[in-house]
């Protein structure tokens, strides 16, 4: 039996080494947490990775892939913040797993229950970590023909977009072409 466990570990380790973003230690920790909660099926499937494409989010959970992605900048804030973010994202997976096919609100009561089970009952919806954000020039300015609100954008809008406020007030929140945003300035 011991030999089988060792072979299992070697196989698992070699598979993980093929994906440089994956974190084997955090995956083991996550699996242990889930095993302690009696959720072994999810524990076998969950993966944890560091994703450098995350800019302002501390983490992200993808239930379909059973994947937790963490922002590498979390390392600047220490082990407690990494653990808290890992458990926050794990709560999303756990809440959806428990709900089955029923859709759950991202930070609704199911998520709150999962947070309590994971030991972070006081968890808030958003983090307040100071991640540096790169400011990009907003070269395209769009304007609502009705309320004259301006909407600066980094990229050109390629589809029909309308002023949400005007659509809510005058059309029950549904898209209305009368409030379609119009390009005012395109500084190239």
Q: What is the pLDDT confidence band of residue 147, given thresholds at 50, 70 and 90?
A: very high
- Bridge partners of 186, per DSSP, are 140
| 74: Cβ contacts below 8 Å, ≥ 6 apart | 58, 59, 81, 82, 85, 129
Element spanning 48, H or E: strand 47-50
Q: What is the pLDDT confidence band of residue 49, given thresholds at 50, 70 and 90?
A: very high
What mean pLDDT is reported for the chain? 87
C-alpha to C-alpha distance for 74 and 121, rounded to whole angstroms: 21
- Please give the C-alpha separations between residue 107 and each of 1, 70, 86, in angstroms, as whole numbers: 42, 18, 15
- Please give the C-alpha separations between residue 185 and each of 43, 47, 150, 151, in angstroms, as whole numbers: 52, 45, 10, 11
Question: Is the model more confident about 151 or about 13?
Answer: 151
- Please give the C-alpha separations between residue 94 and each of 5, 54, 69, 90, 101, in angstroms, as whole numbers: 27, 22, 15, 6, 13
Q: Hey, is 104 helix, strand or coil?
A: coil
pTM of the predicted protein model: 0.66
Q: Above 90 in pLDDT, residue 19? A: no
Q: Give pLDDT tens digits for 79-109.
A: 999 999 999 999 999 999 999 999 999 999 9
Element spanning 3, H or E: helix 2-17
Domains in the chain (CATH in brackets) are 9-117 (3.30.2010.10), 140-186 (no CATH)
- Bridge partners of 6, per DSSP, are none
Q: What is the pLDDT confidence band of residue 18, given thresholds at 50, 70 and 90?
A: very low
User: Are 54 and 131 in contact, with CB atoms under 8 Å apart?
Assistant: no
Looking at residue 136, what is its pLDDT? 74
């Amino acid at each position: 039996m011991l030999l089988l466990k060792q072979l299992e570990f070697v196989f698992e380790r070699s598979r993980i080494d093929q994906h440089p973003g994956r974190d084997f230690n955090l995956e083991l920790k996550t699996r242990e947490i889930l095993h302690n909660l009696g959720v072994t099926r999810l524990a076998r499937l969950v993966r944890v990775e560091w994703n450098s494409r995350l800019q302002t989010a501390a983490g992200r959970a993808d239930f379909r892939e059973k994947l937790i992605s963490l922002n590498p900048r979390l390392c600047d804030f220490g082990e407690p913040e990494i653990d808290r973010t890992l458990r926050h994202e794990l709560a999303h997976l756990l809440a959806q797993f428990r709900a089955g096919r029923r859709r759950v609100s991202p930070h609704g009561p199911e998520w709150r229950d999962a947070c309590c089970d994971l030991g972070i009952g006081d968890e808030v919806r958003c983090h307040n970590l100071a991640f540096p954000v790169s400011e990009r020039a907003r070269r395209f300015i769009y304007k609502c023909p009705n309320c004259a609100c301006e909407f600066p954008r980094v990229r050109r809008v390629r589809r029909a977009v309308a002023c949400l406020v005007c659509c809510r007030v005058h059309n029950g929140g549904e898209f209305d072409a009368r409030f379609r945003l119009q390009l005012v300035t395109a500084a190239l």
